[in-house]
Amino acid sequence: MNIAFIGLGNMGSAMATNLLKAGHTLTVYNRSRARADALKPLGARVTATPGEAAAGAEVAITMLADDHALESVVLGQGLAEKGLAEKGKGILDSLPPNAIHVSMSTISVALSRQLAAAHTEGKQHYVAAPVFGRPEAAAAAKLFIVAAGPAAQIERCRPLFDAMGQKTFIAGDDPSGANLMKLAGNFLITAVIEGMAESFALVRKSGLDVNQFHEILTSSLFNAPIYKTYGALIASEKFEPAGFKLPLGLKDNRLLLAAAEEAAVPMPMASLVRDRFLAALAQGMAESDWSAISRISAKDAGL
């Protein structure tokens, strides 16, 4: 397929690479040009603007950090002022009719709804397909993809999802449902991190071997990737380089709490985790992995 891929961070670069390896034609854009140029040897064509990348594409995939970045490249807001697009032209104005925008970013429920409406008005299609998995999973094409939108358009994208992930879950025909599930899933990850942080602090302060504790947990009741991956990071206190930077975790937490407030659903653990993120940022952990919030539990325990 002829694909535009916008957003080549740690996740996006790996995902785009796997699409190229699968034989798809990619036109790429990234705010930092070097990331895009790195894909040239694999056959990618590099463009100067998001709109240029989307022109003529069957599918435009976005993998960006937050709502602001996505709004900018899709709606063209602020692009003209930055000299990135003539008259602020973004993906929405450039993508051909009947083409698909697949948003794989972790974004707000509200923005997902806005994009679905905008693409419908533009006679285009919109599919939300956020992913679960860290950069190493993206590189290995082992992501879990949660897709929602028109069923026929999801099926058109199935070869792309198969090239990037190990399994695709269909979450209905309302794209925003996939975004809500992604936010709720990320919240569960932070709840696991917080729970392990407190348990590990207790074990450490009691003079026990935290690595043995982690091995016991993940070889018995908690034999799951999240406990294995994040437990190992917490036990070793290896939070740099970050697989998922702490400020992005705070962003996802904020979007979750906004969705919860709209639905009138109290989430007290999410509020606690928010304070952990803020404390970690206040203590200079902006470049650390989001699992570094465990340092707050350790510090509270006097470790």
- Catalytic residue numbers read 182
- Residue 219 phi/psi, 5-degree rounding, is -105, 5
Q: In the chain, which residue ranges form alpha helices assigned H by DSSP?
A: 10-21, 33-37, 50-54, 67-75, 91-94, 109-121, 135-139, 151-164, 175-205, 210-218, 225-236, 246-262, 268-282, 294-300
Q: Which residues contact 132 (CB under 8 A, 6 or more apart)?
A: 143, 144, 146, 182, 185
**Separation of alpha carbons 210 and 217, rounded Å:** 10
**Separation of alpha carbons 98 and 156, rounded Å:** 11
Shortest CA distance to 194 belongs to which of 157, 242, 166, 227?
Answer: 227
Q: Which residues contact 135 (CB under 8 A, 6 or more apart)?
A: 10, 11, 14, 243
Give CA 200 to chain center in angstroms: 27
- DSSP states along 156-181: HHHHHHHHHEEEEEE--S-HHHHHHH
**Separation of alpha carbons 33 and 46, rounded Å:** 8
- Length of the chain, please? 303
- Per the CB < 8 A criterion, the answer to whether 89 and 79 are in contact is yes
